[in-house]
Amino acid sequence: VSELAQVAGKDLIAHLSTLFPMIIETLLDQSSVRKRRQAFRTLGHLVRNTGYVVEPFVEHPRLLEIVLDAVKVENDAATRSAVIKLMGTVGALNPNVYKSKRLTAVAGGAVSNGSLGSSASNPLSANKPANKADFTAADGLRLGVEGGSSASASASASESENAAAAAGGGKQSEDKDGKESNDPLMGNDGPESEDYFPRVAIAELLQILRDQSLATHHAAVIQAVMYIFKSLGLRCVPFLPCILPAFLTVMRQCEAGFREFLFQQLGVLVAIVRQHIREYLPSIFALVNDYWAVDSDLQLQILGLLEQVSVALKDEFLEYMPRLVPPILQVLVSDQTHGRQPTLKVLHTLEVLGTNLQDYMHIVIPVVVRLTELEDAPLAVRRQAFVSLEHLARRLSLFDFCSRIVHAVNRVLATQPQLQSVALCTLLTLANQMAHDYAIFVPLISRTMQRHHINHAGYEALVRRLLTPEPVLGSGDDENRPPNALDGLGVTLSVDEGRDDEPLPQESMKKLHVDQANLQRAWQAGKLSTREDWAEWIRRFSVELLRWSPSPALRACLQLSQVYQPLASRLFNSSFVSCWSELQEHYQDLLVSSLETALRSQTIPPEILQTLLDLAEFMEQNDRPLPIDYRTLGMLAEQCHAYAKALHYKEIEFRDNPTASPVLVSLISINNKLKKPAAAMGILTYAQTRNRELGTEFRQEAGWYEKLGRWTEALAAYEQQQREGALSILPTLGQIRCLHALGRWEQVSALCQRVWVPLRMGSSRVALASGAEDSSTIIGSPSTAASPIALGLLGSPPSSVHSSSASSLSQSSSASLLSSSSMHSSSSSSASLGGNGGGDGLDGSSGSGLDQVEHAHEVARIAAEAAWHQGHWQDMKRYVSGIAPNTVERHFFTAVHALHRRDYVQGQRAIDLCRELVDVRLTALVGESYNRAYQVVVVVQQLSEMEEIIDLMRQQDRMPERMNELREQYLEIWNRRLHGCQPSVDVWQRVLALRSLVIKPSEDTRTALKFAALCRRNRNFRQSAEIIGSLFAEKLSGDGARPSIGHSRMVSLTGRASVPEQLANLLRDGGGTDPAVSEVCYAYLKHLWDAGHRRLALSQIQAFVNGLASLSRAGVRVEPRLRARCHLAHGRWLRLM
């Protein structure tokens, strides 16, 4: 299919509805990595060659969940690469669309195996951070007035967007599927409850049981569940609604050999829950009916199940007897297997059914009696038939069948010496029931015994009593009764004779021993340096926590966790808290010390760091906080983009010191990143009010406005700082960031050019002093990983955090990538708040050398993007060489420059390296939520589109005659992807900038005008004016004349209410004969209106409408839709004026 897609192309579109469900099912097959890898590749080829982009994530909601799950847990490098390529090829789906589709799918019951991800079916919430209400604007203002609130409440809801978290996985996610709170797996109790750990374990085991692709682990799951149920006894009854439906579904879907084991375990389950099984009997008996006649081995286990149900329900079982008795008796008639094991089991079942057979004795007794005389039947079978008759005679009245039984016994006594003893025992029991009525049979039996010299003291004593008037007291001689013939058959399900009304013994729920010394060896971090070392450490630690957990329920999962690692990961939090409570204080101190060592390690991967942060949060929410400094936890949480956690810890710090500027800065920054502008403004209001009350000057406005995303105010504040004569370079850097965010590329380039040389010289000296080999290039240490602040490519530029966070994830190379936060040094942070910054002059003579390197890298990133947007390719090459090596930004811009030069080999190499670095950050952020990872997903889409640009260029080189056709094909795919993206100026600008390498904006006017409209809706009128001005310039230059309406003139319109003469003439002419120019004219008029120049817009639209009418009268075709829109806008504006 993959190869066919590359040949057939769009011809496969008609078959996508058939292919996609099959391929998605293959993606869920956990048994074969190779199969799943090829399935991801096939999907990528199908999407790319058919142009079926974005819609797969919309029409198949579970596909994106499967992809995100693969990013989080897949270990195979080749498969991960295929997954990330597929994500980019399909496109960066708008997070709001993704969220609404998920909620719709969950509400509609679409959550099943693999639907919305394997974790979606898990309703457990007790082992994950608690969900909290959204933080409203009122909350933000309350923080500003009262000096404290729980802003982190907002973040927790925003932080997590998965439908449900794996129980104990510690990944923050939210259960928003609207399930009722009476779900047995939805308890709100904590680890102090006895049912907590069984609930957590059962939820995880149930998740595996529901996943058919994990069928190889189902046997271990069933064993673990049964162990848990035995330990719980009747306390397991609330979990039946969750377990039994999945149990019965697996019984229908599994292989025949495994089904035998499941029937056996179902019988054990019935023995545990007893009469509580009645609700599920229709489903159980439907299953019995379907598999009854399959084979004799399965019949043995089914009969055992029926025995347990009969014992559990007692008289209630009568209603099922009519459908069970005929097939059971049919086994006695037709069984021809070797050893007649089914017959033996049926006879035992008849004994267990006991009094339930009273109404069916007329058909049961003849069949059993016939079996006692069946000559070709094994002696064991005939002996067991007599035992069964005796058992029934003890519990039921066989008076109506005594003649048939006595004559059969008589014939056996005469012909089968081996059966004489058991036959006489049966006869004794029957005679005891008949009492004096048995006297008529005495002569018959006595003659036979005398003839064959049979002596039986018990029988002779009974006969003597029958000839006297005293009542018969008992059958006597129990010692002569033969053993049950079922002994030694290996049938595990049996009910002891005479004890069918008693429950099976239950194991009591008790804590198990914790070997603290062995556990200590598992948690020691030691010297771990590679990603593989850390993965093995967390795996071993997770498994050992289960091995020594005091909870029987968690220990039941040990065997499975050793072969299925995700289970140990998901139960990590629960197993940790279960062991923590049992550790002595000395061992607790050692454990905390080891965790702190891991947290401080420079080599710890982001996903492991996030797991430990989740653990700390989980412990705190369950009133068992780990004794780790919250400032450290907050710094690490912000570092790995767990902003909800970071906000929580910063609020604790705020309560301790409500006037500390760095804390307030962080609170503003984090709330802004969590999309809580009201909360951020509340903090700013609080700071301003507090300063006025204290009579202190408020000097932090520049940096704070920057963190709030209020770029115009921040720019003005930075300019004011510079006018006041600040010697620090930091106000200039602040201006560069603000101008970058506003898209003013010319001003960005000018400022970067001014500071680039001094910074480059200073950072080169630092590089040489640090032992760098090449002083001609700015080379930073691994700890100075580049931040995305500079990139429209990587998100909106924004706030600063302290240098300590900048270096903590240094070894991952991409630690600071793809976030919306810029990572400065502490001096940078303080200066951006209006302080003096501690030096760092333009000459590089003061301040930290490492700060110089960081500033140089930051300026290089921003300047490279500005040069790209302006088409200054030589400048871009120069700046790219100054970006920190081995970062996403460096490889991304290298790829862009290589594509411009049509160096396909270098371009592809840079794309591959960039994708590898993106993988690290994507894994960590996806663990938080799709919304948090969205900016990285956009970069993944850009990498896929760069590969498509390479393909397009190569095809154009080979087939120049098809250039227009190929461009149209790719343009259609790119536009569909773009319209599926988040309607954000930042996202659209990044995507369109990349596309401009092969397609000018004027060649896709419709998309360019949509981008301009998006800028207007976001009140970014300057950028809207630039887009429209560039379109006018390109459209009017087609005749070879130099356009007089240019970029700079359009920008000036935002501050001056006049229209350039050439543009006014164009409007009076209705845009001329080019329909595209008319569309641009209409967009220009809307820009004037939205920008506040309403009277000017109204007068010009009147002229434009008249011009369109004149064109129409002159025979020029004018788009009817355009004319209608113009008249509608004209009418609306007149009405508003």
pLDDT tens track for 186-237: 666 778 888 889 999 999 999 888 887 788 889 999 999 999 999 888 888 8
Question: What is the model's pLDDT at position 757?
Answer: 79
DSSP run (H or E) holding 823: strand 822-823
Contact 18, 6 (CB under 8 A): no
- Cβ 598 vs Cβ 575: under 8 Å: no
Q: Is the pTM of this model over 0.75?
A: no
What per-residue confidence (pLDDT) applies to 646? Answer: 86
pLDDT of residue 946: 94
- Between 40-54, 124-138, 560-574, the lowest mean confidence (pLDDT) is in 124-138
Query: Are 884 and 923 in contact, with CB atoms under 8 Å apart?
Result: no
Which of the two residues, 924 and 1092, has the higher pLDDT score? Answer: 1092
Q: Which of 121-130, 182-191, 354-363 has the lowest mean pLDDT?
A: 121-130
* Residue, of 294 and 737, whose pLDDT is higher: 737
Query: Which tens digit of pLDDT belongs to each residue from 1014-1049?
Result: 999 988 888 888 888 888 887 666 543 333 343 344
> What is the average pLDDT value for the chain, to the nearest integer?
76
Answer yes or no: is pLDDT of 486 > 70: no
Whether residue 847 is predicted with pLDDT greater than 70 in this model: the reply is no
Whether the per-residue pLDDT at 703 is higher than 70: the answer is: yes
Helix (H) / strand (E) element for 801: namely strand 800-801
Q: How far apart are CA 1015 and CA 1010, in angstroms?
A: 9
Tokens at 696, concatenated: 């202190």
Mean of pLDDT values over 1092-1109: 89
Backbone phi and psi for residue 775, each to the nearest 5 degrees, phi listed first: -80, -5
Which of 9-18, 614-623, 756-765, 928-937 is predicted with the least confidence, judged by mean pLDDT? 756-765
Closest CA to 95 of 730, 937, 903, 802: 937
Question: Are the C-beta atoms of 624 and 581 separated by less than 8 Å?
Answer: yes
pLDDT score recorded for residue 552:
92
From the list 14, 95, 19, the residue with the least C-alpha distance to 58 is: 95
Confidence check: pLDDT of 477 > 50: no
**pLDDT at residue 566, as a whole number:** 87
CB 332 within 8 A of CB 343: yes
What is the structure's pLDDT at 106? 56
Q: How confident is the model at residue 697 (pLDDT cuts 50, 70, 90)?
A: low
The model's confidence at residue 255, banded by pLDDT at 50, 70 and 90, is confident
Which of the four pLDDT bands, split at 50, 70 and 90, describes residue 469? low
pLDDT category of residue 873 using cuts at 50, 70 and 90: very high
Q: How many other CB atoms are found less than 10 A from the CB of residue 1136?
A: 9
Burial class of 678 by CB neighbour count within 10 A (0 to 12, 13 to 18, 19+):
middle
Give the residue with greater pLDDT, 164 vs 194: 194
875 vs 1056, more confident: 875
- Summarize the confidence of residues 170-193 as an average pLDDT: 53
Q: Which pLDDT score, from 0 to 100, does residue 776 have?
A: 31
The mean per-residue pLDDT over the stretch 303-332 comes to 87
CA gap 231, 233 in Å, rounded: 6
Question: Quick check: 723 pLDDT over 90?
Answer: no
Rounded to an integer, the average pLDDT of 682-697 is 71
% of residues, the chain, pLDDT over 70: 77
* Segment among 224-228, 254-258, 268-272, 1123-1127 with least mean pLDDT: 254-258
Q: Tens digit of pLDDT for each residue in 949-999?
A: 999 999 888 888 888 888 888 899 999 999 999 998 889 988 998 988 888
| The pLDDT value given to residue 509 | 56
pLDDT at position 185: 64
Residue 894 in this model has a pLDDT that exceeds 50? yes
DSSP-assigned beta bridge partners for residue 823: 801
Whether residue 636 contacts residue 609, with contact meaning beta carbons closer than 8 Å, is answered with yes
pLDDT band at 171 (very low <50, low <70, confident <90, very high): very low
Q: Do 386 and 425 meet the contact criterion of CB atoms below 8 Å apart?
A: yes
Averaged over 879-901, what is the pLDDT? 91
User: At 864, is the pLDDT very low, low, confident or very high (cuts 50, 70, 90)?
Assistant: very high
CA distance 558 to 540: 12
CB 203 within 8 A of CB 574: no
pLDDT for 554 equals 93
Give the distance, in angstroms, between the CA of residue 621 and the centroid of all CA atoms in the same chain: 22
Residues 926/933, Cβ–Cβ less than 8 Å = yes
How long, in residues, is the chain? 1137
Mean pLDDT of 262-266: 91
The crossing angle, in degrees rounded to 10, of helices 61-73 and 95-107 is 110
**CA neighbor of 341 nearest in space, from 373, 380, 307:** 380
pLDDT of the residue at 487: 41
659 versus 380: the higher-pLDDT residue is 380
**CB within 8 A of 110, min separation 6: which ones?**
61, 62, 116
In whole angstroms, give the CA distance from residue 308 to residue 817.
61
- Tell whether the model's pLDDT for residue 254 goes beyond 90: no
Least confident residue range of 48-52, 413-417, 814-818: 814-818
Residue 329 has pLDDT above 50, yes or no: yes
Residue that has been written with the tokens 């289970």 in this structure: 567
DSSP class of residue 605? Answer: -
Three-class DSSP labels, 121-186: HCCCCCCCCCCCCCCCHHHHHHHHHHCCCCCHHHHHHHHCCCCCCCCCCCCCCCCCCCCCCCCCCC
pLDDT number for residue 1116: 83
> Which of the residue ranges 377-391, 418-432, 767-781, 872-886 would you say has the lowest mean pLDDT?
767-781
Does the structure show a pLDDT above 70 at 341?
Answer: yes
Integer Cα distance of 848 and 807 in angstroms: 15
- Residue 212 confidence (pLDDT): 78
Inter-residue contact 561 to 543 (CB < 8 Å): yes
**pLDDT surpassing 50 at residue 931:** yes
Give the range among 48-62, 111-125, 313-327, 1045-1059 with minimum mean pLDDT: 111-125
Greater model confidence, 406 or 491: 406
What distance in Å separates the CA atoms of residue 155 and residue 418, rounded to the nearest whole number?
A: 82
**pLDDT, position 905:** 93
- Specify the pLDDT at position 719: 86
> Is 60 exceeded by the pLDDT of residue 581?
yes
pLDDT the model gives residue 945: 93
Q: With 0-12 CB in 10 A as exposed, 13-18 as middle and 19+ as buried, what is 737? A: buried
Name the pLDDT band for 727 (thresholds 50, 70, 90).
low
Using pLDDT thresholds of 50, 70 and 90, give the confidence band for residue 558: very high
> For 498-518, how does the pLDDT look when each residue is reduced to its tens digit (9 = 90+)?
333 444 444 445 778 888 888
Segment 754-779 shows an average pLDDT of: 51
Query: How high is the pLDDT of residue 26?
Result: 84
Beta-bridge partner residues of 801? 823
Nearest Cα to 1118, choosing from 1108, 1110, 1127, 1128?
1108
